[in-house]
Amino acid sequence: MLGPRARYRRSDANAVGRTARRFAVWKKRAPYGSPLLRQQQGRLDMEAWDIIVLGDGPSALYAAAEAAKGGASTLLMSSSGLGNPGFASLEGLSASIQEMNNRSHREDTIRNGAFLCDQDIVAETTAGAVKHVDLLERRGLNFRRDQQGLPMVRKAPGHAQPRTTDAGSATAIALQQTAEEQCMRHGVIRRGDQLPLTLVHTNQSVDGLIAVDLINGRIIGLQCKALIIADEGFEGAFGNGVVGLGMDMAFRAGLPLRDMEFMTHHPLAIKDTNLFLPTGLLNDGARLHEGSGAPIETDGKSSLEVSQAVSDAVQPVLDARNMGDSAAWWGSLFRLVKQRTGIDMNRQTVPLSPAVGHTIGGLPVDGKGRCVIGTWSRWFTGLFAAGDAACTGLHGAAPLPGNRLLDALTSGASAGQEASSWVKDKKFSTPDSMEAALSDAQGDVSAMMDDDGEGHVARCGTVMSSLHTALASTKNFSEASMTSLLSKLEAISHTAESLHVDQRSLIANTNLLEVLRTQAAVRMVTASVQTGLARKESRGSFIREDFPESDEAYLHHFTVDREGAIDTLALKKGTGGHWVLAPQ
């Protein structure tokens, strides 16, 4: 681990000037790429890094590796334990491996996204897909092969050509391992169980963040030149999954969120669990049908139509009993399902209940991963985002199968490269704002622990139960139903903000983690409903009962800020200002 380059003690809280002067001296003599660790004996505990990355999935690991590769001292931190690959690889990776060019891939992406994709991003991302496959193979990920020795590609829903590849149930873990190896190779420091609390900034320019270290039980200030948010989306708000804290932290700091009304359901979610099965099973011979045996037709349907068909079924099940030799590629998945549910997929069918599996909305970013505010020409200086926490513009109103992983790899690498290049000529800000924010955070956490009421665990469960009940009672989206839902969410929000932590020590304080995720879940769902009210049309995965048709007047992105104010962000065309595929 990279060690400290300077240490000093501050005897009283008024020595800010002396602190700043010593910090400036260190910056002049420390070489680019080294971290600064400032350990205070008093109440303040601070560190400094060139780049900090939030998350631990493919996009975060790619971002961190690229940042460190460029010479920046890089810290990767996750709110949970390390090694969780997330859901990005559930549908494999799409690339035009056996096509002359990426034209069909980009056009399929735009059509599937209901023409709300930023077409310059689509063209650039799909053009680099084959390179990602090649790079992953050279780093040790073994994709399945066809008879010609090329990575085997399948035709997933919404694709005009076969172009989705995977490594069976090993896809996620193998991808995670190869990305982790790159981080180790380039000297990335990784820490788990680090909760981001506050994004510290001065006039929308990043100074750093305040975090809770659940390993050592301390609240720390992490000064940085650039921050890359690459953790989760907010799928967990609709079930028992995880809600990313990075996106919520930036939202509370004043950055509007984009396209929050769009989300898709994963068709192969096991009923009454948080287990999602890869859609690659359907390409290997698994079949969907009713419990009675009647088939659920999926041929020629888009991913949205497949999910809807499963949702409309009375008793949908997945039958993976007759997959032949392909079953060997899914052995670890079969074992996991049996361990978690008791279902032997080699002999039994699996009951399904589609659940929200991908929230498309997030932090608005440009092609370099920079978070933009209001217009494409203005960005939150030093703030980047990638993966599920970002809304890159690739997916539009609905993601094409296999593009979620492609987006994670591409956006992560782009953000890491741009951040590394950008910080080289930048200096750290003065520590004044960090010290003030750290002191405030310590007071806020102490207040959360100062509760003489009942334990927070039951109350967290009550808030999430109320949230799920409110969502379940909203059967369709219309002006009246969403307005009613907003009223319910406002009441739930008041309860969520009053949650307290009954665990006094910060060490392994999972109670605090659950409180933060619960509060974030309510805020993210509220933002989603607010942008849904603004979009008076049906497009892609977002359907309004009172506006069943699409409307060209709404061919743009909606953003919402923490106060609920709605704004728009223009749709980007291709290079040169021309449509890659004109809206139809």
171-185 helix and 58-69 helix, angle to the nearest 10 degrees: 20
Q: Write down the pLDDT at residue 37.
A: 52
SS3 73: coil
3 pLDDT band, cuts 50/70/90, is very low
Q: Write down the pLDDT at residue 59.
A: 97
Does 19 score more than 80 pLDDT? Answer: no
Mean per-residue pLDDT, 423-435:
91
C-alpha separations of 201 from 313, 368, 431 in Å: 50, 21, 11
Mean per-residue pLDDT, 100-114:
97
For the segment 159-214, what is each residue's pLDDT rounded down to a tens digit? Answer: 999 999 999 999 999 999 999 999 999 999 999 999 999 999 999 999 999 999 99
Domain 443-549 class in CATH = mainly alpha
Mean per-residue pLDDT, 446-467:
74
Q: What percent of the chain has a predicted confidence (pLDDT) above 90?
A: 81
Q: Rounded to an integer, what distance in angstroms lies between the CA atom of residue 468 and that of residue 456?
A: 18
For the segment 309-367, what is each residue's pLDDT rounded down to a tens digit? Answer: 999 999 999 999 999 999 999 999 999 999 999 999 999 999 999 999 999 999 999 99
Does 152 score more than 50 pLDDT? Answer: yes
For the segment 68-84, what is each residue's pLDDT rounded down to a tens digit? Answer: 999 999 999 999 888 88
Does 31 score more than 90 pLDDT? Answer: no
Q: ∠ at Cα 181 (395, 184), nearest 5°?
A: 115
430 pLDDT band, cuts 50/70/90, is confident
21 pLDDT band, cuts 50/70/90, is very low
Domain 20-86+188-261+360-439 is classified in which CATH homologous superfamily? Answer: FAD/NAD(P)-binding domain (3.50.50.60)
* Among candidate residues 197, 285, 173, 307, the one with its CA nearest the CA of residue 246: 197
11 pLDDT band, cuts 50/70/90, is very low
Higher confidence at residue 554 or residue 25?
A: 554
C-alpha separations of 262 from 89, 235, 385, 388, 544 in Å: 20, 11, 18, 13, 12
For the segment 378-399, what is each residue's pLDDT rounded down to a tens digit? Answer: 999 999 999 999 999 999 999 9
42 pLDDT band, cuts 50/70/90, is very low
Q: Write down the pLDDT at residue 453.
A: 52
For the segment 126-147, what is each residue's pLDDT rounded down to a tens digit? Answer: 999 999 999 999 999 999 999 8
Q: Are 92 and 280 in contact (CB under 8 A)?
A: yes
451 pLDDT band, cuts 50/70/90, is low
Q: Are 194 and 81 in contact (CB under 8 A)?
A: no
573 pLDDT band, cuts 50/70/90, is very high
Higher confidence at residue 233 or residue 36?
A: 233
Three-state SS annotation for 136-172: HHHCCCCCCECCCCCECCECCCCCCCCCEECECECHH
* Among candidate residues 258, 277, 36, 309, the one with its CA nearest the CA of residue 166: 277
Q: Write down the pLDDT at residue 575.
A: 85
Q: Helical H runs in 55-154?
A: 58-69, 103-112, 119-127, 129-138
Mean per-residue pLDDT, 467-487:
95
Supply the mean pLDDT for the chain.
Answer: 90
Does 538 score more than 70 pLDDT? Answer: yes
* Among candidate residues 443, 368, 442, 446, the one with its CA nearest the CA of residue 411: 368
The H or E element containing residue 191 is strand 189-191
Q: What is the CATH topology of the domain spanning 268-353?
A: Flavocytochrome C3; Chain A, domain 1 (3.90.700)
Q: Write down the pLDDT at residue 349.
A: 96
Domain borders along the chain are 20-86+188-261+360-439, 268-353, 443-549
Does 532 score more than 70 pLDDT? Answer: yes
For the segment 295-312, what is each residue's pLDDT rounded down to a tens digit? Answer: 998 888 999 999 999 999
Higher confidence at residue 194 or residue 20?
A: 194
User: How many Cα atoms occupy the beta-carbon half-sphere of 333 within 13 Å?
Assistant: 25
Higher confidence at residue 306 or residue 22?
A: 306
Q: Rounded to an integer, what distance in angstroms lies between the CA atom of residue 51 and that of residue 64?
A: 8
Q: Helical H runs in 473-547?
A: 479-497, 510-534
Q: Write down the pLDDT at residue 224.
A: 96
Higher confidence at residue 186 or residue 503?
A: 186
Q: Write down the pLDDT at residue 299.
A: 85
Q: Rounded to an integer, what distance in angstroms lies between the CA atom of residue 436 and that of residue 455?
A: 30
Q: Rounded to an integer, what distance in angstroms lies between the CA atom of residue 341 and that of residue 273?
A: 8
Q: Write down the pLDDT at residue 450.
A: 76
Mean per-residue pLDDT, 3-16:
37
What would you measure as the largest C-alpha separation in the chain, in angstroms? 76
45 pLDDT band, cuts 50/70/90, is confident
